[in-house]
Structure 1
Amino acid sequence: MIWELTMRTFLLLAFVLFCGPAIAQPAHLKLIIFPGGLSWPIFVAQDKGFFAREGLEVKVTETPGSVFQIKGIMAGDFDIAMTPFDNIVAYQEGQGETSFDVPPDLFVFMGGISSTLRLIVQPGIATFADLRDKTLGVDALSTGYTLLMYRLLEQNGLPPGSYKLERLGGTASRVKALTEGRIAATMVSSPQEILPEQNGFRRLGDIQSMLGRYQALSGAARRSWAASHPNQLQSFIRAYVAAGEWLTDDQNRAEAATIYARYIPNTPDALIAKAREAMLSETEGFQPRAKFDPAGAQTALAVRKQYGVPKKDLPDWRTYVDETFYDEALKAK
């Protein structure tokens, strides 16, 4: 009798161990972002467990510049990029800084940031005319915010050719070159203009007030990857949106500042407060629910049509955007 009970217990345990429900393993996702406060929602999603809640294990890489980022996503080294909308247009249209053996299949699936782009100059620069024949820093010559700078300068009497350009990579590298006196000016995405301005560097131009709304940072991926990983992409979108909503809630202000300081060490509290003000403005900054802005996209396309090389008649913004994954991810929210 005892042997029978022992045998039954053994069989029951074996059934539970081998036939019971398996523990779900997190889906691995490779994300590439630009460093700095513009990635605050990503920091929150990592720190507060929004990615984990969606069953994602996200490996985050900070890019030194847009060329590295686009090359990496095209090579399959990364699944998702947070990158300017214009970068996707440039490479899809063959106007990017590099070419590929296969046609790019990049697309934008959500927004991220509207505008918040400033032309920051040396303390001694008082007018646009003072930039004539000076060296200006750019990420790449033909993509991203460089074309915006071309428009801003030409609108103020400085056509291409009246200044020199130096490729320096992402905003952090350009700000470093500016503060070291190696360049006279550069386009800076908020909130990375705050510290230079506190140290005497000047804001000569502001994109939104001078050119209108502009779709800046956006969520992007390869169409082929998205088609084969729809659940992972939708999970990422939900996590990013949830992190953004948490960040926006004023009750979380103190904890959000702590998270900012954890990912960007040695940042003074006053600067973090200014970063929050800049990125949660009513008119620009982090877009509510990361919703893509068609009007801002049209601004980007108009600028690219003017300065992109080779010259092209660009199609509608919908050619580069597919919000199907976004809509599906948030339809129950």
Structure 2
Amino acid sequence: MPARAAEPEQLAIMVGGINKLIYLPARLAERLGYFRDEGLDVELQSQPTGIDGENEMLAGAVQGVVGFYDHTIDLQARGVEVRTIVVFSQVPGEVQLVAAKRVDTIRSMADVRGKTLGVTGLGSSTSFLTKYLAQRAGVPSTEYTLLPVGADSSFIAALRQGRIDAGMTTEPTVTQLLKAGDAKVLVDMRNVDGTRAALGGTYPASSLYVQTTWLDAHPREASKLARAFVRTLRYMHTHSAAEIAAQMPAEDVGNDRELYLSALRASLPMYTADGRMPADGPPTVLKVLAGFNPDVKGRHIDLSRTFTNRFVDGVKP
């Protein structure tokens, strides 16, 4: 009898908003067949925020999360060991927008006193970053309101309805609101220069992180995931926005293909080419979190335990 082909290994990964461009490598790896090439059957699940994905991982419902690296620091401060094994973006890809009707009164983060600021969720990376930007501008968190409004259509509705005066979101929502004239850019963290100006360094953000106990028990699976994602990042650096968009499902591209392409072109500079953690990244993220997060402030954080380049470094050119 002919030998039966081995069944692919099944893994579940939670994505903090699967149609956000900051997390595009997850969907693209699936569409390019790179998980399958590694003998993996990866189920990509989606939650509206990174904090939801984190909770699913800690509950054991998924093996990994595609979310922001800063969660690994926050979790270590709370006694949970999590490591990023592939870094997708060296900057947050987030943009602080101000509603068009508020541009005369909110010209910088120093003007957010008494205002309502939209974030995807309380405890999410958008809330971390919003608090830091306001604090850096001299506005303590007691002098404005954070309102969780989700992402995509719910964020757009909150801005248009006046429930938020400003808010932090990602592409393609940013380009959609700018094109419609509903918002203006207040802080742009879609590229390295803008991020360094806002935060003082690169800010590794979108990444794949897993619990350290899982990683120690499954180095083979981690290596396969790393290879699939590094191949994806290399693809993104050697193909045009139009070629990348052609790989994506229709529901991600939406009805306005030109808008999607414009948003994607604006986002491409943020992605890493090799999945490695930038050297100045972890200290910048720790500085941001220690500025206001009571779990992190004043605590010793061992940054070497929040990420590893071991698996991406093992991927052959």
Common topology (TM > 0.5)? yes
TM-score (norm 2): 0.87
Q: Distance in 2 between matches of 1:259 and 1:275?
A: 16
Give the drift of 1:111: 0.7
Aligned AA (1:327): D
Q: Secondary structure at the match of 1:183?
A: coil
Q: Distance in 2 between matches of 1:121 and 1:188?
A: 11
Give the drift of 1:289: 1.6
Q: Distance in 2 between matches of 1:180 and 1:76?
A: 38
Q: Distance in 1 between matches of 2:52 and 2:162?
A: 25
> What residue number does 2:96 align with?
119
In the alignment, structure 1 segments of 5+ residues that lack a partner are 1-16, 95-102
C-alpha contact 1:123 1:202 (8 A) present in aligned 2: yes
The aligned length equals 301
> What residue number does 2:14 align with?
32
Q: How does 1:24-173 map to 2 (within 5 A)?
A: 24-35=6-17, 36-94=20-78, 103-115=79-91, 116-126=93-103, 127-128=107-108, 130-170=111-151, 173=154
Q: Distance in 2 between matches of 1:274 and 1:142?
A: 30
> What residue number does 1:100 align with?
none
> What residue number does 1:309 align with?
294
**1:221 and 2:210 matched:** yes
Larger radius of gyration: 1
Deviations 1:24-75 (Å, cap 9, x if unpaired)? 1111110111222222222221122111111111111111222321111011
Give the drift of 1:148: 1.8
Q: Distance in 1 between matches of 2:161 and 2:305?
A: 41
Give the percent of matched residue pairs that are identical in Structure 1 and Structure 2.
24
Give the drift of 1:246: 1.6
**1:289 and 2:270 matched:** no
Q: Distance in 2 between matches of 1:44 and 1:67?
A: 22
Give the drift of 1:267: 4.1
C-alpha contact 1:33 1:63 (8 A) present in aligned 2: yes
C-alpha contact 1:44 1:247 (8 A) present in aligned 2: no
> What residue number does 1:324 align with?
310
**1:274 and 2:262 matched:** yes
**1:298 and 2:283 matched:** yes
Q: Distance in 1 between matches of 2:151 and 2:298?
A: 26
> What residue number does 1:5 align with?
none
In the alignment, structure 2 segments of 5+ residues that lack a partner are 190-194
Q: Distance in 2 between matches of 1:307 and 1:49?
A: 41
Give the drift of 1:239: 0.8
C-alpha contact 2:171 2:264 (8 A) present in aligned 1: no
Deviations 1:224-253 (Å, cap 9, x if unpaired)? 212222221111111111122122223x54
Q: Secondary structure at the match of 2:102?
A: coil
Deviates more, 1:266-275 or 1:238-247: 266-275
C-alpha contact 1:305 1:314 (8 A) present in aligned 2: no
> What residue number does 2:220 align with?
231
